[in-house]
Structure 1
Amino acid sequence: MRQGLRLVIVLPAAALLATGCATRDWVRETLGKKEAELDQRVTSESQRVDKRIAEEAQRVEGMGFRLAETGTVALGARDRADAAFAKADEVSSRLTRLWDARHQRNLVETVQVRFGFDRWELNDAAQTALLTLIKELRENPRLSVDLEGYADPKGTFDYNVALSQRRVEAVRRYLVDKGVALPRIHSVGLGPLLDGGQPDEQKRRVTVKLMVQPD
């Protein structure tokens, strides 16, 4: 009886022990799988973060290059602007010297080129008078010419200044077209003449002065 009881007790205990061993094996296997999955997820996330960091670093580097390139372009533009201003100052100074030097020459001859009311085109009479001066300029390289444009006082001051400049430009262009070198021509539009002793038709003119350099 006692021997049968021991057998009965031993059999359940053995079954329970076997079940416990199987349970531990399952737990270890399950934990191993979870750890492997976790490791894989961590590795994947780490790789994704590393890739993102590399992309951001590349983008920042590209921005730095573009900023440097933009700075170089800006510096180049500023240098070109400074050069342009320097050239403009040089030209302005040269023109000022030329205009001041006109007083160091002697007057040879004066011709009045007349214009119609609010007109600046050269008529046949004006062209004929200028041809005589052009001949003298061709024959004597020491000669130069001064052009002073005027208008009558009708209308606004600004408009008459612009009109006198257009008249001067018409004469200057005609001289250049006929072969007179541009540096030999000094021109200025002086606007309206307010002299009450002259009729208005005589004020609509360009005074052409033939000048010669002193010996």
Structure 2
Amino acid sequence: KHHTLVFDAGPKFGDSFNTGTAIVQPFLQYQGIKQIDHLVISHADNDHIGGALPLIHAMPVVQISSSVPELLPNATSCIAGQSWQWDGIDFLMLNPNSNDVDSENNLSCVLKISNKTHSVLLTGDIEREAEQQLLARYSEQLHSTVLVAPHHGSKTSSTHAFIDAVRADYILFPVGYNNRYHFPAKSIVKRYQQQELSMFNTANHGAIQFKFTAKNDPLITTWRQSSKKIWRY
């Protein structure tokens, strides 16, 4: 059986627009996916949780985990050490610890997804303090093929030690075009450029899709490649 995990649901802008039903749900339907087996909402910032409730109301969701379960129906806490396996894929929650007391960003759910040859590290909005805790707790386990940049490439995150421990081949910056925070920060982009890796940015590339095969490098397609006519910059 194939399973579907959704990690974060994007923002909501008033009652007129949210990415849960405007983007996530149509994409899943296009893929022939009729239910979400596990929805993980990393933390309570609007750009992560905003689309969650509309998405939950729009299609069946079997399980919901979050660092803020009180904000979502029938949700449970994401806690470091939680693990499960689907279809030969391993899922391991790395953050937060059950006794952690920190900022909302640093309590973000952090999830590592692995098969025998590749792995993806989803980091929410963790900052340097949480990165240091992950280094102390997991060290070598942080190594991943793909890293979604902590906190969108903010200066608060992506410390040298964390980047060195993850040793990713690909870094993804989830950012909006011309965003008011100027993410990713130029200094952080330069920091990643010191590594031998490929960088992708959703503002420039649109949706980024990785298909992992048993042995080879992942097959990567971007929405900018496949739908060039809609791009104006």
TM-score by length of 1: 0.24
Higher relative contact order (CA 8 A, sep 6+): 1
Q: Which has the higher strand share?
A: 2
Say which one has the larger Rg. 1
